[in-house]
Homo-oligomer: A and B are copies of this chain.
Amino acid sequence: MNEAFAAVCELADEASYAQRTLARASTERKNAVLLDIADALVTNAGMIEAANDVDMHEAEDSGMSQGLLDRLRFDAGRIGATADGVRGVAALPDPVGEMVRGRNLPNGMRLNQVRVPIGVIGMIYEARPNVTVDVVSLCIKSGNAVLLRGGHAARHTNEATLAVIGQVLADHGFDSALVAGVDRYGRDGATSMMMARGHIDLLVPRGGAGLIRAVVDNSKVPVIETGAGNVHIYVDSTADLDKALPIIINAKTQRVGVCNAAEKLLVHSDVAEDFLPVVANALTEHGVRLHVDEASLDIITHAGIDDLDIVPATEEDWATEYLDYEIGIRVVDSMDDAIAHIAEYSTGHTEAIISEDYSRIEEFTARVDSAVVMVNASTRFTDGGMFGLGAELGISTQKMHARGPMGLEELTTTKWIGYGTGQVRP
């Protein structure tokens, strides 16, 4: 451990030194690097895919599930799509140098607050090789160095990918220490990153709830908590039920293993008898298991629908992020009850209200304290790409520094510059 810690700190310090040059690089120069990385990934797709094959075989042999195997695959098609993502980042506006605030002080000084890179970002994530490229491209564009711990299962893939990126950086006259993997140190690499306060400026964990919890609990480096999404949709008594149904089906089933997928449905009692049988039927057709409270069970049972995969909800269900074809359903007697339920169980990621009533919508959006509140739209829109931020580093569910999808701006801090002509404080 001590050895890994020393090595990780050294990597971080080398990255920090190299970052001083990147911090001042022009947008043009950074974009040229990004476009060349995109091309180099495509050119070297065969080599990367071969490395990925090694990881895939090892993972298959170790009995990895089909879902995880699919996440691990990085074939030519996915490499091409990832390269397109890098080109997309090149096309985004550069946040560095943006003037956030600027004013003249009464004493004649000019005071500017400008965006600057953070420094050295640490990323701890799980076996999705495209994340390596996404994160590197966001960090380069925002002028940051990055240390990556990408998970044991993807280590050959990540190594091959980072070799390609490092070569492009060197070709452009940048120190390849800007982007460094720490996979070779195994778990100690991740632990060392958490301890490297003063060497790494910001740590972002991305992956399962266990990974994120471990980093948040143990890191001495400032962390941005990402991802956990116990996402609620509240169907108000004033909802247009024809809008509600497709939104719920989309939010629950368009992709189930993601943090912005709906996990809970709260239905106002005034519309429960009309709506619950319909939505239960539709969810069933999409293969969703229903965990329902007593009131919902009564209504659905009386409607006499067959072939439902329905079970009583337990207290544990209300706090669970299923990430699967499952949903919790509860009848609430008022919007107050819905908001109270959300305040108690939500992870603060995304909640939605379906309503046509102006006052209800104003109140719900004001009172629900989550990173994103959707009105009459699918929760699946909580996404950096969908929000027009370009790629995203993750979705922050905390309140400090960044909240919601983290794009380029969230990878910066600010610096105040005061331009004087000899002013002193009276």
Contacts and interface: CB of A to CB of B under 8 A. Distances in A.
Interface in A263-296: none
Interface stretch (A103-111, A123-131, A154-162): A103-111
A382 to B, nearest CB: 8
Interface string A397-425: 01111011000000001111111111111
Contact of A366 (B24, B113, B366): B24
A254 B116 CA distance: 31
A400 B399 contact: no
Given A388-B105, A398-B222, A399-B413, A378 B423 contact: yes
Contacts of A400: 118, 201-202, 222, 400-401, 413
A418 B222 contact: no
Contacts of A380: 424-425
A109 B417 contact: no
Contacts of A420: 374-378, 381
Contact of A399 (B103, B201, B217, B365): B201
Contact of A372 (B217, B370, B416): B416
Interface string A241-257: 00100110111001000
Contact of A373 (B246, B415, B425): B415
Contacts of A366: 23-24
Interface residues of A, number: 62
Q: State the copy count for this chain.
A: 2
Interface in A327-381: 365-367, 369-378, 380-381
Given A201-B399, A202-B399, A425 B386 contact: yes
Interface in A187-233: 201-202, 217, 220, 222
Contact of A375 (B118, B240, B419): B419
A367 B20 contact: yes
A116 B369 contact: yes
Contact of A119 (B369, B371, B386, B423): B369
A365 B414 CA distance: 12
Contact of A424 (B103, B254, B387, B413): B254
8 contacts: A202-B400, A247-B422, A251-B424, A377-B423, A381-B423, A400-B401, A403-B413, A404-B415
Interface of A: 20, 23-24, 103, 105, 109, 111, 113, 116, 118-119, 201-202, 217, 220, 222, 240, 243, 246-247, 249-251, 254, 365-367, 369-378, 380-382, 386-388, 398-401, 403-404, 413-425
Given A243-B422, A250-B424, 5 more contacts: A103-B388, A243-B421, A372-B417, A373-B416, A400-B401
